[in-house]
């Protein structure tokens, strides 16, 4: 974490165990109340509070729809680092499941963390992944020098390769000269 944030020192398993019943009890709240609570947790200095907010949003993701995506993105832009951004990408991916074109604005965003969310939001979708969208996003950002974008390209391709290894292999071999070496290595890891 490179000393980016203060921590309480609570390990993830202990944090999740301690918060599970409390977060389940929040299931009666609507999306706006959950977002307001996440916003309050995000304001607290220690990183574990952002993790609890993400645990809560992930547990209750079915309460959200595309209208809530801007607020989720706004949270991701505050105190941004790979840990919270990647967790938010998963939540946004759950909300957007099968709404493939919603991230077109995000892939062009000035904030590279938002572009990272656009790259990663289809992780785990397997046969539901919009292959053309994923590969198009990877090519669109292939020129970027930002480590976290290069890594995300490789990760997204590696994840999709579990479903379509031949398609990913063909893509990375065809576009090897365009992809950063990091992206290429990450995509190729399990092929």
Sign of CA dihedral 133, 106, 172, 97: negative
Whether 1 shows a pLDDT value over 70: the answer reads no
Alpha carbon distances (Å) from 161 to 96, 124, 126, 156: 21, 11, 9, 9
pLDDT at 3: 78
Whether 20 shows a pLDDT value over 60: the answer reads yes
Are residues 162 and 100 part of one domain? no
4 lies in which domain range?
Answer: 1-114
Q: Which CATH number does the domain housing residue 168 bear?
A: 1.25.40.290
Q: Which of 97, 114, 131 is the last residue of a domain?
A: 114
Task: List, for residues 170-179, the tens digit of each pLDDT value.
Answer: 999 999 999 9
Q: Which of 114, 133, 153 is the last residue of a domain?
A: 114
- The rounded distance, in Å, linking the Cα atoms of 109 and 28 is 34
Count of structural domains, the chain? 2
- The rounded distance, in Å, linking the Cα atoms of 120 and 93 is 8
Whether 162 shows a pLDDT value over 80: the answer reads yes
- The first and second tokens of residue 154, run together, are 């490789």
Are residues 108 and 153 part of one domain? no
Task: List, for residues 29-43, the tens digit of each pLDDT value.
Answer: 999 999 999 999 999
Residues 147, 94, 53, 36, Cα dihedral to 10° = 120
Q: Which of 79, 114, 149 is the last residue of a domain?
A: 114
Are residues 75 and 34 part of one domain? yes
Of 80, 97, 109, the residue nearest 4 (C-alpha): 80
Which pTM was predicted?
0.93
Whether 133 shows a pLDDT value over 90: the answer reads yes
Are residues 8 and 96 part of one domain? yes
**Mean pLDDT of the residues in the chain:** 95
Are residues 29 and 96 part of one domain? yes
Q: Which CATH number does the domain housing residue 78 bear?
A: 1.25.10.90
* pLDDT: which is higher, 86 or 6: 86
Are residues 56 and 128 part of one domain? no
Task: List, for residues 41-84, the tens digit of each pLDDT value.
Answer: 999 999 999 999 999 999 999 999 999 999 999 999 999 999 99
């Amino acid at each position: 974490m490179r000393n980016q944030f203060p921590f309480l020192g609570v390990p993830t398993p202990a944090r999740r165990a301690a918060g599970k019943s409390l977060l389940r009890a929040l299931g009666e709240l609507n999306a706006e109340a959950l977002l307001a609570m996440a916003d309050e947790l995000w304001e607290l200095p220690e990183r574990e509070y952002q993790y609890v907010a993400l645990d809560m949003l992930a547990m209750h993701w079915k309460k959200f729809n595309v209208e809530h995506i801007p607020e989720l993105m706004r949270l991701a832009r505050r105190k941004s680092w790979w840990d919270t951004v990647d967790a938010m990408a998963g939540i946004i991916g759950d909300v957007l499941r099968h709404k493939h074109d919603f991230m077109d604005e995000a892939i062009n965003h000035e904030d590279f963390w938002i572009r990272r969310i656009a790259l990663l939001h289809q992780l785990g979708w397997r046969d539901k992944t919009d292959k053309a969208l994923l590969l198009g996003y990877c090519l669109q950002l292939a020129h970027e020098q930002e480590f976290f974008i290069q890594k995300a390209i490789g990760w997204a391709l590696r994840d999709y390769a579990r479903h379509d290894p031949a398609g990913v292999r063909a893509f990375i071999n065809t576009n090897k000269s365009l992809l950063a070496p990091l992206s290429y290595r990450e995509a190729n890891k399990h092929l």
